Amino acid sequence: MSLSKLSGLSLVCALVFGLSACAPEVGSEAWCKQMKEKPSGDWSANEATDYAKHCVFK
């Protein structure tokens, strides 16, 4: 593998890992706010359960 391909691959991996770390933790105030703004029709069953558990019935 050439150095430029390896550098490009490393950059892509760093961006993917960096962006995935930006999601708020389930149950946090930021997560509850994010879910409140998301249309409830787009929620998964797990998200709805977690929302009720962490944001409604604290």
pLDDT tens string 17-52: 655 568 999 999 999 999 999 999 999 999 999 999
Give residue 14's identity as a one-letter amino acid code: A
**Exposed, middle or buried: residue 17 (CB in 10 Å: 0-12, 13-18, 19+)?**
exposed
Per the model's pLDDT, the better-predicted residue between 10 and 54 turns out to be 54
Identify whether the C-beta of residue 55 lies closer than 8 Å to the C-beta of residue 32: yes
pLDDT score for 5:
72
pTM given for the model: 0.61
CA distance 43 to 11: 32
| pLDDT for 54 beyond 90 | yes
pLDDT score for 6:
67
Q: To which residue do tokens 């509850």 refer? A: 32
